[in-house]
Copies of this chain bind each other. A is one copy, B any other.
């Protein structure tokens, strides 16, 4: 049975096709929701936050699909300002249990997210004096901060930034400049129209010597009237695929002078005479960037896939098309094998990724504790994990959301389905916080090192100890049921991950030994290194899903249905990457046929619980904001009602008077 809570404001009774899907659930939806939330108390808090946010009309996203970029921006600013009041009113604190649910409930549709990054930068990189000066102002929103790192010509490769900050000993100021157009800051959120201050990353020069990239606090707009400060050119970078509500901006600096105290100087400082002093470790700073990548996975990557699955699966249980058998009524499209094959692997992946996200959070919590005890040994593993999983999950979830969109046919293409905006937004996650290919290559570099160490019998981090276990041989499965044994498929994933890594390591070595320069050899192996890094993450994800299922309570059918999903996730991965498993004969062609048979069988099994499995994600209708995905399944009524609200139906269009009237045969009203 679906939770009453998720029903929201329907258009009357639940569509009988959807209702019937819920009557046959093999497990308790409410209990599964609790498992996903990590306990009943979390579920309670989450629902309370969502309800409070959704009940407040200021936070409404009702007209979102009809708004211009200007309107979206204004609404987001209004929400950001209102949120402060709301939090105070509700007694929600930044360190309270409600906090993680607030942005989720707002679906990120709020301004000043970069203001938070601005504050975090100062907290982490600033001295005690700097923190004491800036954080109270920022907390009270007496200034609005941004974070200006990326330039028009420079993204991931930070050493290449071209903005300069030259120290002038005579005035004790830094002089900031944008020496050429490619050095213009480009993309920072909240900077196009809102921010009064920003942290600028620039190459520090003292007495003609370059000390590399450093962060500086720069005021860019007047606090009195919001006009641009002298020497500042700034504005909005214009329309994007999504994030219309965010004023991503550009910034040029022309001889902008800031006091010496505005360089963030916890870890390094320019003294009055120009002496450059570095102190402490910057490693913790590096860790902050690493954690950011992990912290965004849940809200920005996994939840969008869960939402897309909810919309597409509910719609597929309501939409009927063609006949499966002659003489019958038109069939639910979810009953077609091809539709199941599109949607159910995405559903299984959403669960797999939810669990791997829990794994990563545990890994990082442990790492954080070690680091606080000044033990930095886990940093490389944490960096490699955050890079690889961010890349793998964002890439898979983006593709998954697109599959869900397409699987809804023409109606999926309407913004009112909610799917286009999920897609255009999640797509950005493949690019921001490290472009995926570059991230996977960082993971690969770590794996190559660990592989060499493991091969030499040296100790390696826990997550890669399997690299020492190179076992040739063949998969022992004899029939299709054997492939529902997790030991069998986990072993296959492990074997393939090792094979890809070891063969690429060998190629790399061969190239270097044949005289190719090290960097060039690396470049010639990158396509295969990316494959190897993905295979590693894929293996860990499957293994973690299996371990999670083993630990689940064996009650209310939860463990059983999760085992099916785990099998589906694993076998789908083999089916769709068959070449990797067949390559060295570990899996034979005949075994691949068994895998295919088991995989297709599982589609039929999970199809029966597909709707309850998305109901368990517990999204409200308002959070889905989809005419296709509502709990009650009244898709056609809702599409029609929502379409009528479109601005395209709110005016007698001027095109008629201007262009059509002079043309039409208007002697008669009717032909």
Taking beta carbons and an 8 Å cutoff, which residues of A are in contact with B?
Answer: 65-66, 68-70, 73-74, 77-78, 80-81, 137, 140-144, 150, 152-157, 160, 181-182, 184, 186-187, 192-194, 196-197, 219, 222-226, 229, 235-241, 247, 250, 319-326, 330, 335-339, 341-342, 402, 406, 409-410, 412-416, 420, 424, 427-428, 430-432, 435, 437, 441, 517, 519-520, 523-528, 530, 577-585, 589, 592, 596, 600, 636-637, 639-640, 642-649, 651, 653-656, 658-661, 663-671
Closest residue of B by beta carbon distance from A642 = B238
Distance between A148 CB and nearest chain B CB, rounded to angstroms: 14
Taking a contact as CB atoms under 8 Å apart, the answer to whether A410 and B437 are in contact is: no
Taking a contact as CB atoms under 8 Å apart, the answer to whether B338 and A152 are in contact is: no
A60 to B313, CA, bound (A): 42
Taking a contact as CB atoms under 8 Å apart, the answer to whether B416 and A239 are in contact is: yes
A325 to B519, CA, bound (A): 6
Taking a contact as CB atoms under 8 Å apart, the answer to whether B235 and A649 are in contact is: yes
Taking a contact as CB atoms under 8 Å apart, the answer to whether B659 and A236 are in contact is: no
Taking a contact as CB atoms under 8 Å apart, the answer to whether B523 and A247 are in contact is: no
Contacts known (A153-B636, A155-B410, A665-B223); A653 close to B193, Cβ less than 8 A: yes
Closest residue of B by beta carbon distance from A150 = B410
Closest residue of B by beta carbon distance from A657 = B226
List of B residues within 8 angstroms of A65 by Cβ: 238-239
Taking a contact as CB atoms under 8 Å apart, the answer to whether A241 and B636 are in contact is: no
Taking a contact as CB atoms under 8 Å apart, the answer to whether A330 and B655 are in contact is: no
Taking a contact as CB atoms under 8 Å apart, the answer to whether A137 and B642 are in contact is: no
Taking a contact as CB atoms under 8 Å apart, the answer to whether A413 and B441 are in contact is: no
Contacts known (A238-B66, A523-B337); A665 close to B431, Cβ less than 8 A: no
Taking a contact as CB atoms under 8 Å apart, the answer to whether B592 and A579 are in contact is: yes
Taking a contact as CB atoms under 8 Å apart, the answer to whether B153 and A320 are in contact is: yes
B186, B237, B325, B658: which contacts A78 (Cβ < 8 A)? B658
List of B residues within 8 angstroms of A640 by Cβ: 152, 181, 184, 250
Enumerate 10 A-B pairs (CB-CB under 8 Å) in ascending A order. A68-B647, A74-B658, A80-B659, A154-B321, A181-B640, A193-B656, A197-B671, A238-B646, A239-B414, A578-B580
B225, B326, B523: which contacts A324 (Cβ < 8 A)? B523
Taking a contact as CB atoms under 8 Å apart, the answer to whether A664 and B142 are in contact is: yes
Closest residue of B by beta carbon distance from A499 = B589
B414, B583, B656, B667: which contacts A582 (Cβ < 8 A)? B583
List of B residues within 8 angstroms of A649 by Cβ: 192, 235-236, 238
B80, B152, B432, B670: which contacts A223 (Cβ < 8 A)? B670
A582 to B321, CA, bound (A): 36
A225 to B669, CA, bound (A): 7
A156 to B653, CA, bound (A): 32
Distance between A181 CB and nearest chain B CB, rounded to angstroms: 5
Taking a contact as CB atoms under 8 Å apart, the answer to whether B74 and A654 are in contact is: yes
Distance between A448 CB and nearest chain B CB, rounded to angstroms: 16
A572 to B141, CA, bound (A): 54
Distance between A510 CB and nearest chain B CB, rounded to angstroms: 11
Chain B CB within 10 A, most for which of A78, A222, A579: A579
A581 to B596, CA, bound (A): 16
Given contacts A69-B646, A70-B647, A237-B639, 17 further A-B contacts (CB under 8 A): A70-B648, A70-B651, A73-B655, A74-B653, A142-B665, A154-B321, A160-B320, A192-B649, A193-B656, A222-B669, A223-B664, A226-B660, A238-B643, A241-B420, A324-B523, A412-B431, A420-B424
Closest residue of B by beta carbon distance from A197 = B671
Copies of this protein chain in the complex = 2
Chain B CB within 10 A, most for which of A184, A428, A578: A578
A667 to B528, CA, bound (A): 59
A261 to B671, CA, bound (A): 12
List of B residues within 8 angstroms of A325 by Cβ: 517, 519-520
A342 to B667, CA, bound (A): 59
Taking a contact as CB atoms under 8 Å apart, the answer to whether A224 and B141 are in contact is: no
Taking a contact as CB atoms under 8 Å apart, the answer to whether B144 and A660 are in contact is: yes
List of B residues within 8 angstroms of A338 by Cβ: 437, 441, 526-527, 530
B336, B413, B589: which contacts A241 (Cβ < 8 A)? B413
Contacts known (A78-B655, A337-B527, A636-B182); A69 close to B648, Cβ less than 8 A: yes
Distance between A113 CB and nearest chain B CB, rounded to angstroms: 16
A655 to B661, CA, bound (A): 39
Closest residue of B by beta carbon distance from A662 = B81
A359 to B36, CA, bound (A): 53
A413 to B519, CA, bound (A): 30
Taking a contact as CB atoms under 8 Å apart, the answer to whether B415 and A239 are in contact is: yes
Taking a contact as CB atoms under 8 Å apart, the answer to whether B431 and A406 are in contact is: yes
List of B residues within 8 angstroms of A226 by Cβ: 656, 660-661, 664
A140 to B667, CA, bound (A): 14
B229, B241, B413, B651: which contacts A431 (Cβ < 8 A)? B413
Taking a contact as CB atoms under 8 Å apart, the answer to whether A235 and B524 are in contact is: no
Taking a contact as CB atoms under 8 Å apart, the answer to whether A239 and B646 are in contact is: yes
List of B residues within 8 angstroms of A645 by Cβ: 238
A616 to B150, CA, bound (A): 34
A21 to B152, CA, bound (A): 22
Distance between A49 CB and nearest chain B CB, rounded to angstroms: 23
A645 to B237, CA, bound (A): 9
List of B residues within 8 angstroms of A432 by Cβ: 410
Taking a contact as CB atoms under 8 Å apart, the answer to whether B406 and A430 are in contact is: yes
Taking a contact as CB atoms under 8 Å apart, the answer to whether B578 and A77 are in contact is: no
B77, B224, B579: which contacts A659 (Cβ < 8 A)? B77
List of B residues within 8 angstroms of A589 by Cβ: 582-585
List of B residues within 8 angstroms of A225 by Cβ: 669
Distance between A258 CB and nearest chain B CB, rounded to angstroms: 11
B141, B236, B322: which contacts A663 (Cβ < 8 A)? B141
Taking a contact as CB atoms under 8 Å apart, the answer to whether B144 and A664 are in contact is: yes
List of B residues within 8 angstroms of A413 by Cβ: 240-241, 427-428, 431
Taking a contact as CB atoms under 8 Å apart, the answer to whether B526 and A336 are in contact is: yes
Taking a contact as CB atoms under 8 Å apart, the answer to whether A142 and B663 are in contact is: yes
List of B residues within 8 angstroms of A150 by Cβ: 410
A-B residue pairs, 7 tightest by C-beta: A578-B579, A142-B665, A238-B646, A236-B648, A224-B669, A579-B579, A239-B415
List of B residues within 8 angstroms of A600 by Cβ: 524, 527
Distance between A501 CB and nearest chain B CB, rounded to angstroms: 15
